[in-house]
Chains A and B, each alone.
Chain A
């Protein structure tokens, strides 16, 4: 297949009027719940079960975050989503020198099992599903979670949730990588293999386009680079001898919902169809569950404006509606104040209520794939799928996603789009209400949540206590074993679980792995 200039904006290719000749029902759509799943992964969609309302939250100490989770659950939220602070995401304990100033800032600080126990205190893990945004050290944090479950007396097989565990988009867009690609993929396939046996209801990865879009990509690039990452994970798992239909049903995805209502709804449909084809044709997956693209959505943080922040409620509503019309399995709606700081309890409540209004008042849930058959939306779906396929062809020719990342190609394509987006705003080709048009003299003042400095002190005190009270000899023994096993191909998950119970810290575990695996160096491209 020939490759076209992938930077050509899809808008130019969009027809202003589409008709019945533009699509074929059986080939392109099919029934919902059936291959190629264009119309949704379940036959009855929201008629039988609404999406999971899952607000990403976490800040300060484990206790403060625990309070926020209980509040959200009391307000009708149906799943938890844990935000970790940057030191945790990078495998540093809260007392590491590089953690200074960052402890508890963008999420909760977790250094040992003691923090994780406080985070889920009085939350029975068999009653909630928990999503954790953790990537480079995902396997270790999953082990902490399983250990909390064991302490609550809950079997691993009963636990439901997701770890993001998607390192490739960290190299591409998000930046919280630690190890180079090869050992990182080994940790990921360790999780796949372990969970297939021990934690069968767990989503072992959330292959994420969200951050790619936040970094400035177009909708088609978001689909393309996400699925390119997905292909790489499947290949890695096949390479270590896993059977496609054993692990593929637990792969999940995570997309952005941006402003263009119809194009975004179409994007989710295009992603489902393209992934189903890849799984069936390229990887010969036979189980429909392996072919289904199930996904979480978050509304676009980068679309929020610091100017006239109350306008963001309208933006989030449209974005969330796109996700629902596109058939999402779970949803996070951003709060209006997030271009200014961390959201307050009140603004998070409004964001959650926005989902509830769509679910219970809008009527958008009454029919399966309500936009299906709209000439326009089908045309958009085809356009996005074709543009994404074009990128996948280019990446294959480059030798795959890792080669395309290491050469800086994917990052550069995103940067070009991000720069174009900014230029379009500055030339007023693209209107952002309140920013380049319809500005107000005086912006509304909002109360912003601030993480107290006390949080860092409290966290450090607990960590010190844990270090004093645990069995130091056992800790040393486990770390020595880890150093040995990290050099082999043995699955490291059982050892991480054992380490959790002995209160070995995240930083200690990652310190050993850094020594054995080395660290990834960013290719800086402008």
Chain B
């Protein structure tokens, strides 16, 4: 039997807009992944610890407050600090193009803009994580 992909969906910082995070979480569940959703207002440190404890393959961050350059990168740093390696780091929200470049230079594999089809994101995750899990 194929091993399931484990995903952490997290909301770093003070932003309360969770519609996108929840919709994406549900869509990943329907796509057969195991999903942990943190709820809103988590610190980067908390998120990194949850990622480690839950042994996830993917961390997906959502923020619509404009604080992503600070908060997303802090999550990447904390993941390294707590020793959570080999995790696919993704982001979503209102992220201007130049910030996407910055985040990609700082550990993020991809940033998904508003309007992205959830199936596109799920397929992306499967293509990146499935081979690592030893699945066909």
Contacts and interface: CB of A to CB of B under 8 A. Distances in A.
Interface of A: 86-87, 89-90, 98-102, 105-106, 170, 174-176, 214-216, 302, 305-307, 339-342, 415, 418-419, 422, 426, 432, 435-436, 448, 450-451, 522, 524, 526
Contact of A305 (B69, B115, B117, B119): B115
Interface residues of B, number: 35
Contacts, number: 95
A451 B23 CA distance: 29
B9 to A, nearest CB: 9
Contacts of A100: 70
A306 B100 CA distance: 14
A98 B45 CA distance: 12
A405 to B, nearest CB: 14
Contact of B118 (A214, A422, A448): A422
B67 A105 contact: yes
B66 interface: yes
A518 to B, nearest CB: 16
Interface in B9-44: 13-19, 22-23, 25-27, 29, 35, 37-41, 43
Given A102-B65, A105-B65, A526-B25, A86 B118 contact: no
14 contacts: A86-B14, A87-B14, A90-B14, A101-B74, A105-B67, A106-B65, A176-B16, A216-B19, A306-B115, A339-B115, A342-B66, A418-B23, A422-B23, A450-B96
Contacts of A175: 15-18, 40-41
Given A170-B16, A422-B27, A432-B115, A524 B96 contact: no
A394 to B, nearest CB: 22
Secondary structure of the B contact surface, majority rule = loop
A174 B18 CA distance: 8
B13 A102 contact: yes
A170 B14 CA distance: 13
Given A175-B16, A339-B114, A524-B39, 15 more contacts: A90-B14, A101-B67, A105-B66, A106-B66, A175-B17, A215-B19, A340-B94, A342-B66, A426-B117, A436-B117, A522-B40, A522-B41, A526-B22, A526-B26, A526-B29
A522 B115 contact: no
B113 interface: yes
Given A435-B115, A522-B40, A526-B37, A102 B67 contact: yes
Nearest to A421: B23
Contacts of A215: 18-19
A102 B26 contact: no
B94 A339 contact: yes
Nearest to A425: B117
B50 interface: no
Interface of B: 13-19, 22-23, 25-27, 29, 35, 37-41, 43, 65-67, 69-71, 74, 94, 96, 113-115, 117-119
Given A86-B14, A418-B19, A419-B26, A426 B66 contact: no
B14 A524 contact: no
Contacts of B27: 419, 422
Given A102-B67, A340-B94, A342-B66, A524 B16 contact: no
A87 B16 CA distance: 12
A37 to B, nearest CB: 32
B96 A341 contact: yes
A102 B64 CA distance: 11
A526 B34 CA distance: 13
Nearest to B37: A526
B96 to A, nearest CB: 5
Nearest to B43: A98
B71 A426 contact: no
B39 A522 contact: yes
A524 B69 contact: no
B69 A101 contact: yes
B19 A340 contact: no
A76 to B, nearest CB: 28
A235 to B, nearest CB: 25
A419 B24 CA distance: 9
Given A101-B70, A340-B96, A522-B39, A86 B19 contact: no
Nearest to A434: B115
